[in-house]
């Protein structure tokens, strides 16, 4: 039996609801100005094409690693939830928030309220991080790195409490012989993002993976395809970043794409086949991209 997992990230859906003047105080003001510039980068027709292509391939599960929204306006949450519903039933879609989903402190509590069906433990209706959802022989573990930061910052953190639970989940799932997929928005290694944009406790995450291992780590945030390996107890652990699912311009690694992982048991281990699909330069047609280097 094989399990097909689709991965997309950083949808940055638009248009933005019209903000009230008082909603643009503080960090949102710089974010709003920035969004006017980014608006031409994130194309909703392209995003629609990516989703249609994912659905054509009928994956068993879809992982969305954050940044559905832009500047955390209250009006963005309803749109984000409606958009997430277009991916599929929450049973088949998992979501972890990005820095743009937890943009300012006073909206952080909206995340569990809005996204609970996509980020809850099996058998629970409340959002919790890290969450564990087991589908067949695959354990999907969602970690939140969304924290509120000051203007011009896009950093994230897992925090000590999540790290403790994550270690337990990874160990338990290893004992059950499951294929462990960790989903997180920020690249989870030191130097994974530029100054002011990185995961503050990336070193602790690297150490945790070195102790517990994982079979696959998925992230977004850099709007760029990245193939990386972290050190696990029994060898390297695949850590794959995907481009923004709505980005139009940029290098081949930055243009809109999604990744597809076919996971199969092979003897005592696993075989993973990975494909990337998206838009090549100068083409409006979505096509197969160079395979991911595993
Ligand atoms: Fe993003």
The mean pLDDT of the chain is 92
CA of 244 to the centre of ligand 1 (A): 7
Percent of the chain with pLDDT over 70: 99
Residues with Cβ–ion distance below 5 A, ligand 1: 10, 67
Nearest to 96 by CA among 194, 219, 4, 181: 219
CA of 46 to the centre of ligand 1 (A): 16
Task: State how far the alpha carbon of 75 is from the alpha carbons of 78, 80, 81, 255, 294, in Å.
Answer: 6, 9, 11, 28, 40
Between CA 294 and CA 286 the distance in angstroms is: 22
- Which pLDDT score is estimated for 128? 93
Please say whether the beta carbons of 43 and 248 come within 8 A: yes
CA of 253 to the centre of ligand 1 (A): 15
CA of 12 to the centre of ligand 1 (A): 7
Report the predicted TM-score, pTM, of the whole model to 2 decimal places. Answer: 0.95
CA of 66 to the centre of ligand 1 (A): 7
Between CA 206 and CA 212 the distance in angstroms is: 10
CA of 235 to the centre of ligand 1 (A): 30
- Which pLDDT score is estimated for 176? 97
pLDDT at 21 over 90: no
pLDDT at 105 over 80: no
- Which pLDDT score is estimated for 92? 97
pLDDT at 67 over 90: yes
Instruction: Return the ∠ at Cα 246 (arms to 41 and 206), rounded to 5°.
Output: 105
Place 72 in a pLDDT band, splitting at 50, 70 and 90.
confident
Q: What stretch of H or E contains 54? A: helix 44-56
pLDDT at 50 over 90: yes
CA of 176 to the centre of ligand 1 (A): 34
Nearest to 214 by CA among 174, 185, 186, 187: 174
- Which pLDDT score is estimated for 19? 73
pLDDT at 152 over 90: no
CA of 126 to the centre of ligand 1 (A): 25
Please say whether the beta carbons of 143 and 162 come within 8 A: yes
The CB density around residue 113, as the number of other CB atoms within 10 Å, is 11
CA of 55 to the centre of ligand 1 (A): 22
Six token digits for residue 277:
């699909």
Question: Which DSSP string do the residues of 194-244 spell out, in sequence order?
Answer: -TTSSBTTHHHHHHHHHHH--SEEEE-SSSS-EEEEEEETTEEEEEEE---
């Amino acid at each position: 039996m094989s399990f097909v997992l689709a991965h997309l990230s950083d949808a940055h859906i638009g248009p933005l609801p019209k903000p009230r003047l008082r909603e643009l105080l503080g960090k949102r003001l710089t974010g709003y100005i920035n969004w006017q510039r980014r608006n031409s980068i994130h194309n909703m027709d392209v995003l629609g094409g990516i989703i249609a292509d994912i659905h054509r391939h009928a994956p068993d599960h879809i992982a969305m690693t954050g940044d559905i929204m832009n500047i955390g306006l209250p009006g963005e949450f309803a749109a984000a939830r409606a958009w997430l519903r277009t991916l599929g039933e929450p049973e088949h879609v998992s979501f972890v928030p990005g820095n743009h989903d937890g943009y300012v402190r006073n909206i952080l509590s909206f995340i569990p309220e809005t996204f609970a069906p996509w980020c809850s433990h099996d058998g629970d209706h409340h959002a919790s991080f890290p969450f564990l959802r087991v589908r067949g022989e695959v354990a999907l573990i969602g970690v939140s790195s969304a924290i509120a930061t000051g203007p011009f910052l896009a950093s994230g953190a897992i925090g000590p409490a999540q790290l403790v639970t994550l270690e337990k989940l990874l160990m338990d799932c290893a004992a059950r012989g499951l294929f462990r997929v960790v989903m997180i928005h920020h690249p989870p290694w030191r130097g994974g993002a530029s100054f002011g944009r990185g995961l503050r406790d990336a070193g602790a995450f690297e150490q945790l993976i070195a102790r517990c291992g994982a079979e696959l780590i998925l992230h977004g945030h850099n709007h760029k395809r990245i193939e990386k390996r972290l050190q696990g107890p029994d060898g390297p652990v695949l850590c794959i970043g995907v481009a923004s699912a709505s980005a139009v311009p940029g290098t081949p690694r930055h243009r809109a794409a999604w990744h597809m992982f076919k996971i199969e048991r092979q003897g005592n281990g696993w075989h993973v086949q990975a494909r990337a699909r998206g838009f090549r330069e100068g083409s409006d047609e979505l096509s197969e991209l160079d395979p991911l280097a595993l």
